[in-house]
């Protein structure tokens, strides 16, 4: 469909009245739609054709789908208290490698399909994973010493690039100092680091002046982001008590609410469902309560 037939009829008549008879011939091939539409008011067939085209356009628009992610009504979904869900999950995890099994949480949001997404980092009251290994790219000198003091595993410029090119990636996070960003970009590591989500960028907050404090933060922090209206993140080890899980959940939900509020005035994001799951277990929709009367005491729901 050409743009001309989408114009309101007033604009079209304006255009045609402005056109000088001399230029008419030269303009027609540029905008083919005009030729058809010009006599539209008098010609019944043209009106029908125009309506049909309009319908087609609206169908095409409809095919683009709703603007929001579709979220069904949860009234049919069975929902669980935290303790009950934990009891089931621990039954599903029985006999699994205790170090590899973790609780995870999926937070579903009511949100636009093409809106901005939440991405941030948070620090749990009870840390989930043992320290993540952090690598820092920065010029030698003061920053290097600070980063090492803060607990970075690998600090440097050229040696980091060499290692990565060789395929030795012994870290979970990569932070870069702005002074070294050019060197990093020149080294052409995007193809290796990009797919792993390790490539530093200002947007993710991994290109920072104050490298040392960032390393501190990242060591105990968990990065999360929204994908298809869901934020997924590990929330606890299997040995956690339900109270510890509750604290971590609260911290997470508060932080996400804060993120959603801080996005934009016009963007409305709200939490729609919280699902607790584990490495080998199904997902349990939580109803926000901590325990029911017949759930076991929390001491028996912890440990390995």
Cα 150 from Cα 169, distance rounded (Å): 20
Whose Cβ is closer to other proteins: residue 157's or residue 273's? 273
Whose Cβ is closer to other proteins: residue 98's or residue 288's? 98
Subset of 276-295 contacting other proteins (CB under 8 A):
282-285
Which of 15, 192, 223, 230 touches other proteins by CB under 8 A?
Answer: 230
Subset of 81-100 contacting other proteins (CB under 8 A):
87-88, 90-92, 94-96
Per-residue mark of binding to other proteins, 103-132 (x: CB under 8 A): ---x-x------------------------
Cα 132 from Cα 148, distance rounded (Å): 14
Per-residue mark of binding to other proteins, 158-197 (x: CB under 8 A): ----------------------------------------
Using CB under 8 A, count the residues that bind other proteins.
29
Which of 1, 6, 14, 74 touches other proteins by CB under 8 A?
Answer: 74
Instruction: Indicate whether 76 belongs to the interface with other proteins (CB under 8 A).
Output: yes
Instruction: Indicate whether 65 belongs to the interface with other proteins (CB under 8 A).
Output: no
Least separation, in Å, of the C-beta of 62 and other proteins?
22
Give the residues lining the site for other proteins (CB under 8 A): 72, 74, 76-78, 87-88, 90-92, 94-96, 106, 108, 228-230, 275, 282-285, 296, 299-301, 303-304
């Amino acid at each position: 469909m050409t743009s001309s037939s989408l114009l309101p009829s007033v604009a079209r008549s304006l255009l045609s009245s402005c056109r000088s008879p001399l230029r008419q011939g030269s303009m027609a091939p540029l905008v083919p739609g005009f030729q058809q539409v010009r006599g539209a008011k008098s010609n019944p067939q043209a009106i029908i054709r125009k309506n049909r085209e309009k319908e087609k356009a609206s169908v095409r628009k409809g095919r683009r789908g709703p603007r929001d992610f579709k979220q069904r009504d949860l009234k049919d979904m069975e929902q669980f208290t935290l303790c009950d869900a934990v009891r089931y999950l621990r039954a599903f995890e029985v006999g699994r490698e205790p170090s590899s099994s973790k609780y995870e949480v999926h937070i579903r949001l009511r949100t636009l399909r093409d809106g901005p997404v939440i991405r941030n980092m948070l620090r749990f009251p009870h840390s989930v994973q043992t320290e993540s290994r952090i690598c820092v790219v920065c010029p030698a000198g003061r920053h290097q010493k600070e980063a090492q003091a803060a607990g970075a595993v690998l600090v440097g410029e050229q040696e980091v690039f060499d290692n990565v090119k060789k395929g030795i990636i012994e870290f979970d996070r990569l932070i870069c100092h702005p002074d070294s960003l050019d060197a990093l970009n020149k080294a052409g590591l995007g193809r290796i680091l990009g797919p792993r989500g390790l490539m530093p960028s200002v947007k993710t907050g991994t290109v920072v002046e104050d490298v040392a404090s960032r390393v501190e933060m990242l060591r105990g922090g968990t990065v999360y982001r929204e994908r298809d209206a869901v934020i997924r993140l590990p929330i606890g080890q299997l040995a956690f008590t339900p109270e510890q899980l509750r604290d971590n959940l609260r911290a997470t939900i508060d932080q996400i609410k804060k993120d959603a509020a801080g996005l934009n005035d016009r963007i409305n994001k709200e939490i729609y469902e919280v699902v607790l799951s584990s490495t080998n277990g199904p997902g349990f929709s939580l109803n926000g309560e901590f325990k029911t009367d017949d759930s076991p005491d929390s001491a028996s729901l912890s440990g390995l």
